[in-house]
């Protein structure tokens, strides 16, 4: 059983970092800022995280891992077309990005801290590798280096999301439509 104080402290830390990172680039947030906002001391902070960036990464990763798990369940149990499942997964990620829009808008272009970029890219790369593992034999063209293709797709998707956040507003549907159009033709 998890100690209720640990749960409460974790929640306070997560709420504090989301609040702070929504208005300030994570690279400029100090441990003192987080502890003050969360109402905890430094020692308690360091028993939960190594930096404000790592704390924010933990918060975002929890949500992204939930999305990946739901996608895997759908792929295993659904009779839907694989591209329809991919679209639903992308819609969930875009909803996640929209939920944390202010954080991503500040964090993705931040040259002083790439932790948020890495979180999103890692999600896409891990998900893409998992998708490739489920691909029918022969579906991935001969000569494609799977890890390189996964990294290419992952970082391209993060770039697309960053451009969407920083550019002229377009709908979430437009973003998802463009993501789907930019996946390799052999994506299934």
Residue 26 has pLDDT above 80, yes or no: yes
Task: Write the CA distances from 91 to 136, 175, 185, integer angstroms.
Answer: 24, 9, 19
Task: Write the CA distances from 30 to 10, 38, 69, integer angstroms.
Answer: 17, 12, 32
Q: What is the pLDDT of residues 54-101, one digit of tens each?
A: 999 999 999 999 999 999 999 888 788 889 999 999 999 999 999 999
* Domains identified in the chain and CATH numbers: 52-182 (1.10.357.10)
- Taking the C-alpha atoms of residue 31 and residue 60, their distance in angstroms, rounded to an integer, is 18
Give the sign of the dihedral formed by CA 145, CA 146, CA 151, CA 154.
Answer: positive
pLDDT of residue 1: 63
- Structure token digits, residue 85: 């499942």
The pTM assigned to this predicted structure is 0.91
Among 9, 3, 12, 16, CA closest to 44: 9
């Amino acid at each position: 059983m998890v100690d209720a104080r640990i749960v409460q402290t974790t929640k306070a830390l997560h709420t504090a970092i989301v609040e702070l990172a929504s208005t300030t680039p994570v690279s400029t947030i100090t441990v003192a800022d987080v502890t003050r906002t969360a109402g905890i001391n430094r020692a308690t902070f360091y028993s939960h995280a190594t930096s404000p960036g790592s704390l924010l990464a933990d918060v975002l990763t929890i949500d992204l891992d939930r999305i990946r798990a739901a996608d895997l369940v759908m792929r295993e149990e659904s009779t839907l077309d694989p591209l329809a499942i991919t679209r639903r997964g992308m819609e969930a990620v875009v909803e996640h990005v929209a939920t944390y829009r202010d954080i991503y808008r500040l964090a993705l272009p931040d040259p002083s801290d790439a932790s948020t970029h890495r979180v999103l890219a890692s999600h896409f790369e891990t998900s893409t590798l998992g998708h490739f593992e489920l691909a029918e034999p022969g579906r991935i063209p001969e000569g494609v280096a799977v890890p390189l293709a996964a990294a290419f797709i992952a970082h391209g998707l993060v770039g697309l999301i960053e451009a969407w956040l920083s550019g002229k507003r377009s709908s979430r549907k437009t973003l998802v439509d463009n993501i789907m159009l930019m996946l390799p033709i052999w994506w299934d």
